[in-house]
Amino acid sequence: MKEIVECYKVDTISLQRNDGFWLDDGRLVLRSVNVGELVADRYQSPYAEARFSLDVKDTKALMLLLDADDDSFSYRLKQHFDGASVLDRFKRFCDEHQLKYEYRFITD
């Protein structure tokens, strides 16, 4: 899996959060990786990750919707979804355009 664009980052004493889009064999994955005291207090684990994954077909459909090609895909993702609410905006966009995704919440 290869990160193609970072959309949001927090780095404090009690929380480190990094949200970004990754490509995995042609599939787009949005990952929100969270570590720190706040995560441990809430989830009883020092690590938590929320992950939205599209299959290859829906990744290509998303590219068309964003008017992106291979060279501009990361730019278009950042343009549309950048910021603290990247997860919510991405989920809402997928739901509105009937893009199917797999959601996973992972703790250590």
pLDDT, tens digit, 9 for 90 and up, residues 20-75 = 999 999 999 999 999 999 999 999 999 999 999 999 999 999 999 999 999 999 99
pTM for this entry: 0.93
Q: What is the token pair recorded at 78?
A: 């950042």
pLDDT band at 9 (very low <50, low <70, confident <90, very high): very high
- From the list 41, 36, 6, the residue with the least C-alpha distance to 20 is 6
Instruction: Please state the domain count of the chain.
Output: 1
| Residue 35 near residue 29, CB atoms below 8 Å | no
| Nearest 10 degrees: Cα torsion 21, 25, 26, 28 | -20
pLDDT band at 92 (very low <50, low <70, confident <90, very high): very high
pLDDT band at 100 (very low <50, low <70, confident <90, very high): very high
User: Does 88 score more than 90 pLDDT?
Assistant: yes
User: Does 108 score more than 90 pLDDT?
Assistant: no
Taken in order 34, 40, 42, 47, is the CA torsion positive or negative? positive
For residue 22, the enclosing domain spans: 2-107
